[in-house]
Structure 1
């Protein structure tokens, strides 16, 4: 992965409290996993930004190396990699995701 792509990804992660790298956009997700990730965040009422990896092949490949995680979507909260849609779903169902947003000051307890 090029340093330029790495730097761009790092800047995006650092610049947004809640960031979802996904296929498509929140209004038009381009895969079921991205759709599920957006639905979880919307249901929780958390403000988030998204990056459509389909628009940038460098980011699409680079994010996998950046996080050492092979699939998209990928959720970052306050610069920390949380996981993909399966992990998000497990954390949502267990209450861990809500706890994380409260802990990071992004949601009311």
Structure 2
């Protein structure tokens, strides 16, 4: 399976997925930490992928989204953005609205 196909399967197989450095319990950069904090505040169920564990995914996700930085958030298969865009959308109430419109399940 190609890296693009692997990423596509992850993105389409989860309502919300965050490609990040580290894990939600142990983020490895400030931007990933901020992204996790936002998702936790929203109280949504999400999957995460630690790009530090797989260099093919780390490089491949940048090509997949045509976005140069990590973290990257996807909701219902659509690229939302990185931590700066997530922060702006969260502060404006747009990210919560997007999650509600996408009927994302709350965290268990």
Same fold per TM (> 0.5)?
Answer: yes
Q: 1:104 aligns to what?
A: 102
Q: 1:45 aligns to what?
A: 43
TM-score calculated relative to the size of structure 1: 0.95
Q: What 5-or-longer segments of structure 2 have no aligned partner?
A: none
Structure 2: distance between partners of 1:33 and 1:62: 19
SS at structure 1 position matched to 2:26: coil
SS at structure 2 position matched to 1:75: strand
RMSD between superposed Cα atoms in Å: 1.2
Give the number of aligned pairs.
106
SS at structure 2 position matched to 1:43: helix
Q: 2:33 aligns to what?
A: 35
Structure 2: distance between partners of 1:56 and 1:107: 28
1:60-99 superposed matches below 5 A:
60-99=58-97
Deviation at 1:60, TM superposition (A): 0.1
Q: 2:54 aligns to what?
A: 56
Q: What 5-or-longer segments of structure 1 have no aligned partner?
A: none
Deviation sequence 1:4-57 (CA, Å, 0-9, x none)? 000000000010000000000000000000000000000110110000000000
1:17-36 superposed matches below 5 A:
17-36=15-34
TM-score calculated relative to the size of structure 2: 0.95
Deviation at 1:106, TM superposition (A): 1.4
**4+ aligned runs moved over 6 Å, structure 1:** none
